[in-house]
Structure 1
Amino acid sequence: MTRAADVYYRTRRSSELSKHPAEVFAEAEEHPVTVTRRDGESLVLISQREADRRAKLLEFATQLITVATDEHGTLAERMSKVFPWMLALSVTDRSTCAREILDAARASFATEQPHLAIAELTAWKETATAIAAGLHSADLEWIDDEQLVERP
């Protein structure tokens, strides 16, 4: 069975990397590139950005395992222990946050797309940070969709 992410991997021979490094490197900035070798195991070339995303996803998975193995409290309470910034949210929002983060994590793990979980986690954390800073009580003035704003 092939993994969902296999379609995003491109395969290049090591000789192609030797002859056309700029082309292969540019490709690796967009998606992982498997470099096959006759004399050894294939290697995967990825960008630092992609490696960092994968490391963040593994760290996040560790945190979720900690939440899953805790037997005390609701999901939102257990997640608030691991992610204390959630305490800035209302009880209702904590529950919503916990469910949405878990759903995004499941989607990330199933599709091998780290950005889904990381973006959801970041969005909720930024929301909690804004609430903690008092920005939730600010009066907002929304610009009407039909009102054109002059370009600078």
Structure 2
Amino acid sequence: MSIAADLPAWTRRSSDLSKHSAEVFAEAEEHPVTVTRRDDESLVLMSQREAEGRSQLLNFAAQLITVTLDDNGPFAERMSRVFPWMLALSPADREACAQDLVNAARASFSTDQPHLAIAELTSWKETATAIAAGLRSAEAEWLDDETVERP
């Protein structure tokens, strides 16, 4: 039987921190855990990674709000003003990037999963950085019919 069988998932009593700290900390590494206190406001225990992800998502949300409040030019152009690294992308890729970022942000907000938007933002930014550095996609050379002996 679980220690917090009568409490909602991801909720623990403050006494669980002293009696079963390893179990509570293990849960907090997986997802935020609400720690209820008898005579005070509940607290939330989470990993630093989780807290930083939420902070990054809020920062990203603020940038998207800035884009939506600007009404000068097409959406991808407004996004490029807030995210200047997008200028390294082709115009078609800027359009795709802008839409992908908005879709990922919506998914992150609706599922409470910050990593969705942050991963999309990082992926597009790294792509733009690679293009700016002169890296282009090249056809892969596959070695057909080559057998390699097992070591």
Task: Identify whether the pair has TM-score above 0.5, normalized to the shorter chain.
Answer: yes
Matches within 5 A, 1:67-78: 67-78=67-78
Unaligned runs of 5+ in 1: 1-7
Q: Deviations over 1:45-101 (max 9, x none)?
A: 011000000000000000000000001010100000000000000001101110111
- Determine if contact 1:28/1:47 at 8 Å carries over to the other structure: yes
- For 1:111 and 1:134, the matched residues in 2 are separated by 37
Structure 1 stretch displaced more, 20-29 or 69-78: 20-29
Aligned-pair CA distance for 1:102: 0.5
Q: TM-score, normalised by structure 2?
A: 0.87
Task: Give yes or no for the alignment of 1:134 onto 2:134.
Answer: yes
CA separation of 1:97 and 1:26: change in aligned 2, threshold 3 A: same
Amino acid corresponding to residue 77 of structure 1 in structure 2:
E
- Determine if contact 1:9/1:32 at 8 Å carries over to the other structure: no
Q: Find the structure with the greater CA-based Rg.
A: 2
SS of the residue 1:35 aligns to: strand
- Determine if contact 1:88/1:129 at 8 Å carries over to the other structure: yes
The aligned residue for residue 26 of structure 1 is 26
Unaligned runs of 5+ in 2: 1-7
- For 1:16 and 1:9, the matched residues in 2 are separated by 14
- For 2:146 and 2:9, the matched residues in 1 are separated by 45
The aligned residue for residue 4 of structure 2 is none
Aligned-pair CA distance for 1:150: 6.8
Q: Deviations over 1:20-59 (max 9, x none)?
A: 1111111101111111111111111011000000000000
- Determine if contact 1:72/1:78 at 8 Å carries over to the other structure: yes
Between the aligned residues of both structures, percent identity stands at 71
Aligned-pair CA distance for 1:143: 3.7
Q: TM-score, normalised by structure 1?
A: 0.86
Amino acid corresponding to residue 60 of structure 2 in structure 1:
F
- Determine if contact 1:35/1:42 at 8 Å carries over to the other structure: yes
Q: Deviations over 1:93-129 (max 9, x none)?
A: 1011101111111111111110111111111001101
Amino acid corresponding to residue 11 of structure 1 in structure 2:
T
The aligned residue for residue 3 of structure 1 is none
- For 2:102 and 2:132, the matched residues in 1 are separated by 23
- For 1:124 and 1:46, the matched residues in 2 are separated by 28
- For 1:151 and 1:74, the matched residues in 2 are separated by 56
The aligned residue for residue 111 of structure 2 is 111
Root mean square deviation, CA, Å: 2.2
Amino acid corresponding to residue 24 of structure 1 in structure 2:
V
Aligned-pair CA distance for 1:146: 8.3
